[in-house]
Amino acid sequence: MIPVPPAIQRIPWKLIAILAGITGFGLLVLYSAAGGNWSPWALNQGVRFLVFLTAALVIGRFPLRIFEDFAYIAYIGILILLIAVELLGFVGGGSQRWLNLGFMNLQPSELMKVAIVIALARFYAQLPPGNTRTLTALWPALVMIGLPAALVMLQPDLGTALAICIGGVVVMFVAGLPFWWFGSTAVAGLAALPVLFSFLHDYQQKRVLIFLDPESDPLGAGYHISQSKIAIGSGGIGGKGFLNGSQSHLDYLPEGHTDFIFATMAEEWGLIGGLALLFGFFLLLRWSTRVALKARTRFGQLTAAGLTMTIFFYIAINLMMVMGLAPVVGIPLPLFSYGGSSMLTIMTCVGIMLAIENDSKTGTRRFH
């Protein structure tokens, strides 16, 4: 046997295979969605993936300590950016979600999905175990989640606000806060749904109502859901074949390369393609859950669990949306949908978790 050099061994080949598998499949779908063409989407996406993958591998080499130390600073910085976006939107009139940095449009709300998890993880890592069941463990976390969530809701971006809340709440949950707090909040939340509904914007309310009855508006807002279900349903078990999807190629499926890319895929690859993709995501989430369980520090544990949830939330909401189980909220499918923002977020998560994984290999388990 040829001895494998340690430098090569240290590269997480399995993870890269999973990520490349999912993204590569996505590239094929983008190639087909463009009518059998590498431009405008597939090539871009492929290059972007390589850049972000490299970045994630580099981030993975950072000592975990750095993330913990900069957690609060990052959180506060991004919070300020969110406020800045809000103010700019107020000045410019209408809603705004990004800051133009000249070379790219930065969406602070995307970064916040990651920052909230790290900040809360640090908070609970520093919390004395004895305070776990006291209000001291609760209110700072609620404030930390509530502020950015409210700012993002103002944009208004329901999907991202939910993602921030979910990421935060999961960190709180795995941190060991009393079970009944979550239970009773869930019950209270259900009861308050009608009130919350009335706080939504008109177009958001409409989306929810149409989700409940898509046929009520087959040519309007319900069009997305109807056409997506037609695409998935007409694919059957084996699909219509590569490059043969009529729904996407004839433009019946809106956003067929971004939010509804799963439908584009399912039309051509069928149930088999769908299950294969789900299996890919399962492998990714299994890896990240293992990272959480094996993490050497409490910060690592909580961060990995929270980030796993963040990735999972993307996948679940997107798939529920395209299959008509959730309202259209505009959340892309990680690694699969065309677009830089979500890939940046996901790869950041992956990078941080790689750092956690590397950290767990370096020393003995310790908690503080």
What's the rounded Cα separation, in Å, for the pair 346 and 310? 9
- Judged by beta carbon, residue 85 or residue 263, the one nearer another protein is 263
Q: Which of 44, 99, 289, 330 binds another protein (CB under 8 A)?
A: 289
Shortest distance, position 291 Cβ to another protein, whole Å: 11
Ranges within 224-253 binding another protein (CB under 8 A): 227, 229-237, 246-247, 250-252
CB-based burial label for 361 (10 Å; 0-12, 13-18, 19+)? exposed
Give yes or no for residue 123 binding another protein (CB under 8 A).
no
Which one-letter amino acid corresponds to residue 322? V
Q: Is residue 274 close enough to count as binding another protein by CB under 8 A?
A: yes
34 touches another protein by CB under 8 A: no
Task: Enumerate residues 126-155 that contact another protein by CB under 8 A.
Answer: 128-134
Q: Identify any residues that bridge with 100 across adjacent strands, giving them in sequence order.
A: 105
Least distance (Å) from another protein to the CB of residue 240?
9
Please give the span between the terminal C-alpha atoms of the chain, in angstroms, as a whole number. 43
Residue 319 touching another protein (CB under 8 A)? yes
- Closest distance between another protein and the C-beta of residue 234, in Å? 4
Give me the long-range contacts of 214-218 (CB less than 8 A, separation at least 24): 214/324
- By the rule CB under 8 A, 305 interacts with another protein: yes
Please state, in angstroms and rounded to a whole number, the distance separating the CA atoms of residues 355 and 351. Answer: 6
DSSP state, 216? G
Backbone angles phi, psi at 180, to 5 degrees: -70, -20
Shortest Cβ 134–another protein spacing (Å):
7
Residue 16 engages another protein in binding (rule: CB under 8 A): no
Distance of CA 75 to the CA centre of its chain: 18
- Closest to another protein by CB, 34 or 78: 34
CB-CB contact of 204 with 210 (8 Å):
no
Coil, strand, or helix at residue 99? Answer: strand
Q: Which residues bind another protein (CB under 8 A)?
A: 128-134, 170, 173-176, 227, 229-237, 246-247, 250-252, 266-267, 270-271, 274-275, 278, 281-282, 285, 289, 292-293, 298, 301-302, 305, 308-309, 312, 316, 319-320, 323-325, 367-368
